[in-house]
Amino acid sequence: MTTFTDLNLSESILRAVMDGGYTIPTPIQEKSIPPLLEGRDLLGVAQTGTGKTAAFALPLLQHLSKTPRKAQSRKPLALILAPTRELASQINDSLRAYGKHLHLRSCVIFGGTSPRPQVQAVNRGTHIVVATPGRLLDLMNQGHVRLDEIEVFILDEADRMLDMGFIHDVKRIIAKLPKKRQTLLFSATMPASVQGLASSLLVDPVQVEVAPTATTVEKVDQKVMFVSKDQKRALLGDLMNNPEIERVLIFTRTKHGADRVARHLHECGVRSDAIHGNKAQNARQRALESFRAGNIRALVATDIAARGIDVDGVTHVINFDLPNDPESYVHRIGRTARAGATGMAISFCDHDERAYLRDIEKTIRQSVPVFDEHPYHSVEIANDPGATKRPPQRGGFKGKRFGSGNGNGNGQRHGQNKGPGQGRGPNRGRNSQRSGRSGGQRSGKAA
């Protein structure tokens, strides 16, 4: 079995990894770190929750620490682009954790907040900039950031970057990079647009793939409930009476919908908050931290706001609205059943969403089992002539953890070999036991 000590990482980086009690790398880390330490370009196909942040952060820190240099004002040596503020912040947090024994500086740049502290950080000098494209371009155009000294460029979640319309900003940034550099591109899926971008960016890259493109996390127990649109909130309120739904991420299609659902949960006595693009960055961060700390039970989110959220111990994902993009469904439900644990994804489907469900099932290459033993079940929607035929799944919500674990009531989790950034959330059972961990070893997953 490969351990982090087998990967030729420096003593300072290994110490930071070991400080967290992690010894076993995840597959993406085991496959990526050696060629990255050799300076190779890399194309990584990996969904969130696989440990890709540590896969690129550890080699990057080692590269910069091999030849110690003073951080220059406005001239970083490495650039990491991420599609959302939350993901950029999490990457920066990981860099600081893994580099805590090194004399390297990193800073994060994103919109939605005052640029002054970010300008001050780059003016003081930083080795690594983690940024979202729009704000970075603004600071570049104002002369606060120059990219002519970049040695390593990392593009994370490239598929989402393109989905969010950042391709032109990304290309403008790339045009300012030195031709001679190491380039890494990570993407959960590999559509033609991402393949084209990778071909233009990477030179003789190593390709690492740790999960088939557009497939669902195997340990997620998926169910669909057919319900009319005007009864969705009532159904959600009933579901939240089940104590087995301990920490739930709820997805809506719109920002206003997220606020309405959060208000309804509050009226039902469920501690909750919403996170979406209309929220100020500090409000989004507070909501995320409250969810991570267990101070709120439910976090309601839109797809863009939730991208990059990596919270351990999410027992359930509820699709209050089905996404019109089946790839988003894959990303959504991947927020549970992380780190080898099991979890449940429950999708509400109204009449207008039947086409979305068909597209999702085609993408994941399986039918989502129907659960019809709830008071709001719509026979009319279930019997839609264009629907995929499949038998209803009865039972399953009583007497066992609602979609995760083996139902023994002791909070037992399965297969949790943990690693950097993985499994830090509380185990929810009072007598929690962890299986899949041998001799205290933990595998290295990061956000």
Domain limit, last residue, from 155, 176, 209: 209
141 domain-assigned: yes
Instruction: Give the C-alpha distances (Å, rounded to integers) separating 366 from 85, 355, 369.
Output: 33, 15, 9
Specify whether 43 is located in the same domain as 178: yes
DSSP, collapsed to helix, strand or coil, labels residue 182 as strand
Specify whether 151 is located in the same domain as 285: no
Specify whether 96 is located in the same domain as 160: yes
352 domain-assigned: yes
pLDDT of residue 79: 98
The C-alpha atoms of residue 15 and residue 290 are separated, in whole angstroms, by 30
Specify whether 132 is located in the same domain as 279: no
Name the more confident of 173 and 214. Answer: 173
Specify whether 111 is located in the same domain as 15: yes
CA within 13 Å, CB half, 218: 5
434 domain-assigned: no
Q: How confident is the model at residue 297 (pLDDT cuts 50, 70, 90)?
A: very high
142 domain-assigned: yes
pLDDT of residue 413: 32
DSSP, collapsed to helix, strand or coil, labels residue 247 as coil
Asked whether the beta carbons of 21 and 440 are under 8 A apart, the reply is yes
In the chain, the percentage of residues whose pLDDT exceeds 90 is 61
| Among 9, 183, 26, residue whose Cα is nearest residue 99 | 9
- How do residues 16-49 score in pLDDT, each as one tens digit? 998 866 788 989 999 999 999 999 999 999 876 6
Helix (H) or strand (E) holding 274: strand 272-275
Asked whether residue 177 carries a pLDDT value surpassing 60, the answer given is yes
pLDDT of residue 77: 98
Mean pLDDT of the region 64-87: 94
Q: What's 8's domain CATH number? A: 3.40.50.300
Specify whether 60 is located in the same domain as 171: yes
Residue 161, Cα to own-chain centre: how many angstroms? Answer: 13
Asked whether residue 385 carries a pLDDT value surpassing 90, the answer given is no
Stretch among 21-30, 288-297, 366-375 having the lowest mean pLDDT: 21-30
Specify whether 18 is located in the same domain as 153: yes
- How do residues 219-248 score in pLDDT, each as one tens digit? 789 999 999 999 999 999 999 999 999 999
Which residue range(s) make up the domain with 395? 220-407
Specify whether 202 is located in the same domain as 235: no
Specify whether 157 is located in the same domain as 293: no
Domain limit, last residue, from 209, 239, 261: 209
446 domain-assigned: no
422 domain-assigned: no
Asked whether the beta carbons of 364 and 329 are under 8 A apart, the reply is yes
- How do residues 386-396 score in pLDDT, each as one tens digit? 555 444 444 44
Specify whether 185 is located in the same domain as 227: no
Q: Specify the number of domains making up the chain.
A: 2
Q: DSSP E strands: which ranges in 293-341?
A: 298-301, 316-319
Mean pLDDT of the region 407-422: 36
- How do residues 147-161 score in pLDDT, each as one tens digit? 999 999 999 999 989
What is the rounded average pLDDT for all residues in the chain?
84
388 domain-assigned: yes
Specify whether 247 is located in the same domain as 116: no
Q: How confident is the model at residue 217 (pLDDT cuts 50, 70, 90)?
A: low
Mean pLDDT of the region 371-381: 94
Asked whether residue 399 carries a pLDDT value surpassing 60, the answer given is no
Mean pLDDT of the region 175-184: 97
pLDDT of residue 415: 33
Specify whether 96 is located in the same domain as 41: yes
- How do residues 311-330 score in pLDDT, each as one tens digit? 888 999 999 999 887 878 88
Asked whether residue 281 carries a pLDDT value surpassing 60, the answer given is yes
Domain limit, last residue, from 209, 228, 247: 209
Q: DSSP labels for 423-446? A: S-SPP-STT--B-S--TT--EE--
41 domain-assigned: yes
Asked whether residue 437 carries a pLDDT value surpassing 60, the answer given is no
Asked whether residue 307 carries a pLDDT value surpassing 80, the answer given is no
| Among 157, 219, 161, residue whose Cα is nearest residue 188 | 157
